[in-house]
Amino acid sequence: MLIELTKGLGFSGAHFIIGHKKCEHLHGHNWRVGVTVEGEPDERGLVVDFLELKRLLGELCGSYDHRVLLPENNRALKRLSGGASTRISVHGREFEFPSADVVWLPVVNTTVEELARVVADEVVRNLSYPNVRKITVWVEESPGQSATEERRVGKSP
Ligand SMILES: [Zn+2]
């Protein structure tokens, strides 16, 4: 059985894509996030609790909302200073942000592909439903531009 949660989840966030001619300039998107969960209903008739799934994704989206999303695994990004202010350099261009407005992500670039992987990791790590077999996460940065990450979880059928 397929459970879908695809509405009302998302966040506004700024990013840039290191090594991309146009997208290396700082810009923002209204990102949208959706998830589908596949599994067998338990004795209560539930594959997964919608409220718990929504709370989990809502918290994650909330932590990215109105923030600058920076890739911590990109070697072209140099951290010049930390503390109250985060100063970075990318290919000779310097940026400075209030540190409270920055989220460092475990990615090489803040792309939809990498974000879908990070969100899928978080869902797999935090959603403990024994009947769930597959979790699919998609992240969209603008209409028609999205990435999907699929994870098989739990025991094999
Ligand atoms: Zn972008």
d(CA 118, CA 121): 5
Sign, Cα dihedral of 29, 116, 68, 12? positive
Expressed in angstroms and rounded, the spacing between residue 81 Cα and the centre of ligand 1 is 25
Regarding pTM above 0.85, the answer is yes
d(CA 126, CA 137): 14
Sign, Cα dihedral of 66, 30, 52, 69? negative
Residue 113: predicted pLDDT: 97
d(CA 37, CA 19): 34
Expressed in angstroms and rounded, the spacing between residue 124 Cα and the centre of ligand 1 is 26
- Phi, psi torsion values for 111, nearest 5 degrees: -105, 165
Question: Does residue 46 or residue 63 have the better pLDDT?
Answer: 63
Q: Do the bridges between strand 27-39 and strand 2-5 make them parallel or antiparallel, or are there none, so unpaired?
A: antiparallel
**H-helix or E-strand spanning residue 49:** none
Structural domain spans, the chain: 2-66+111-152
Expressed in angstroms and rounded, the spacing between residue 27 Cα and the centre of ligand 1 is 6
Homologous superfamily assigned to 2-66+111-152: 6-pyruvoyl tetrahydropterin synthase/QueD (3.30.479.10)
Expressed in angstroms and rounded, the spacing between residue 112 Cα and the centre of ligand 1 is 9
Query: Which pLDDT tens digit goes with each residue over 11-48?
Result: 999 999 999 989 999 999 999 999 999 999 999 998 99
Query: Which pLDDT tens digit goes with each residue over 96-134?
Result: 999 999 999 999 999 999 999 999 999 999 988 888 999
Question: Does residue 72 or residue 130 have the better pLDDT?
Answer: 72
Residue 130: predicted pLDDT: 83
d(CA 10, CA 111): 15
Residue 12: predicted pLDDT: 98
Residue 129: predicted pLDDT: 80
pLDDT band at 156 (very low <50, low <70, confident <90, very high): low
Expressed in angstroms and rounded, the spacing between residue 71 Cα and the centre of ligand 1 is 13
